[in-house]
Amino acid sequence: MSDLKQKSIIQFNKLQKHLRHTVGDAIADYNMIENGDKVMVCLSGGKDSFTLLDILLHLQKTAPVEFELIAVNLDQKQPGFPEHVLPEYLAALGVPYHIIEKDTYSIVKRVIPEGNTTCGLCSRLRRGTLYGYAEANNVTKIALGHHRDDILETFFLNIFYGGKLKAMPPKLLSDDKKNIIIRPLAYTREKDIERLAVFKNYPIIPCNLCGSQENLQRQAMKVMLKTWDKQFPGRLETIFTSLKNVAPSQLADTQLFDFVGLTRSQQAEEQVMFDSVYASTSAANAGLDVLAQ
């Protein structure tokens, strides 16, 4: 075996181990999968959902809990969609799967004016169809392939265009209260998923069949985050960590914190807590500065 091939195998094994670790951590932190669950993996044909299915299949064999997996794809009848790709891939894996055939493409094209972005309506129709299938087939968890970068993009989209501090939660109860959605890739970086997709040679189906993917606001967020990641290593990790460390009294939402009823004693307690956290953070940063010297 050549040195180059040996090095490639080592890199692949390290990457695969790292991805399994990040997914395992996310599942454990948010109690995403429990004993006896029937997990529906929504497979779009993109790198993210292929990676999600791959890692969950491994965890199904090694995890301390027993759970079922079924891969489900929604064929929306977009022109040019290669219908044979996913059934052939899933059959070769030996994983239970189902293809839902529903022409939501025609509905979207009829409702949305020419030239406008179709992604919003397309997503709602897709979500409704998948929720309905899950309910009818005793699915207890719906697994989506959103990764850490998707969550950060959504966070900044809501800040810049929606005026909200809001992202994608790793675990969510649907609006109809009938489905629990999980995002096991919540801690996983997109660039790691991209590397795995190259190693694994997944049969990727591009998400541009409808021709409405250009000049999206999300694409602008993606470019911004990639620029930050390149220029300021570690920034994205810090921002994501902040989503897990929210201090309501240090924001301005009167629904989240009782500013109106705030008393001097309560304010003092809040300030002590804030100062304690700040001091701990400053000490940690100082330690890092010393190590860096």
pLDDT per position as a tens digit, 18-60? 999 999 999 999 999 999 999 999 999 999 999 999 999 999 9
Neighbour-count burial for 129-164, b at 16+ CB within 10 Å, e otherwise: bbbebbeeeebbbbbbbbbbbbbbbbbbbeeeeeee
Amino acid 7: pLDDT: 77
pLDDT (tens digit per residue) in 167-176: 999 999 998 8
Burial level of 186, CB count in 10 A (0-12/13-18/19+)?
Answer: buried
Q: Do 145 and 264 lie in a common domain?
A: no
Q: Do 184 and 265 lie in a common domain?
A: no
Q: How many angstroms separate the CA atoms of 179 and 139, rounded?
A: 8
The proportion of the chain whose per-residue pLDDT surpasses 90, expressed as a percent, equals 66
What's the whole-number average pLDDT of the chain? 87
Ramachandran region, residue 159 (left: φ > 0; alpha: ψ -120 to 50; beta: rest): alpha
> Does position 286 have pLDDT exceeding 50, yes or no?
no
Which structural domain range is residue 278 located in? 248-292
Domain count, the chain: 2
Q: How many angstroms separate the CA atoms of 191 and 197, rounded?
A: 10
Amino acid 292: pLDDT: 35
Q: Do 125 and 212 lie in a common domain?
A: yes
Q: Do 43 and 85 lie in a common domain?
A: yes
C-alpha 22, offset from chain centre: 12
Q: Do 157 and 286 lie in a common domain?
A: no
Q: Evaluate whether 186 touches 151 at the Cβ level (below 8 Å).
A: yes
Q: Do 177 and 255 lie in a common domain?
A: no
Q: What is the 3-state secondary structure (H, E, C) of 182-236?
A: ECCCCCCCHHHHHHHHHHHCCCCCCCCCCCCCCCCHHHHHHHHHHHHHHHCCCHH
Q: Do 213 and 283 lie in a common domain?
A: no
> Does position 291 have pLDDT exceeding 50, yes or no?
no
Q: How many angstroms separate the CA atoms of 270 and 41, rounded?
A: 43
Amino acid 266: pLDDT: 62
Q: Do 151 and 263 lie in a common domain?
A: no
Angle CA 219–162–179, to nearest 5: 85
Higher pLDDT, 179 or 123: 179
3-state secondary structure of 73: strand
Q: Do 191 and 55 lie in a common domain?
A: yes
Q: Which amino acid is at 262?
A: L
Q: How many angstroms separate the CA atoms of 86 and 73, rounded?
A: 8
> How large is the C-alpha radius of gyration of the chain?
22
Q: Do 194 and 126 lie in a common domain?
A: yes
Q: How many angstroms separate the CA atoms of 248 and 258, rounded?
A: 10
Q: How many angstroms separate the CA atoms of 35 and 232, rounded?
A: 41
243 pLDDT tier (thresholds 50, 70, 90): very high
* CATH of residue 225: 3.40.50.620
Q: How many angstroms separate the CA atoms of 13 and 234, rounded?
A: 23
Q: Do 118 and 191 lie in a common domain?
A: yes
> Does position 164 have pLDDT exceeding 60, yes or no?
yes
Higher pLDDT, 2 or 48: 48
Neighbour-count burial for 211-250, b at 16+ CB within 10 Å, e otherwise: ebeeeeeeeebbeebeeebeeeeeebeebbeebeeeeebe
pLDDT (tens digit per residue) in 183-240: 999 999 999 999 999 999 999 998 765 555 545 788 899 999 999 999 999 999 999 9
Nearest to 168 by CA among 186, 180, 191: 186
With residue 102 as reference, give the H or E element that holds it.
none
Q: Do 230 and 277 lie in a common domain?
A: no
With residue 91 as reference, give the H or E element that holds it.
helix 85-93
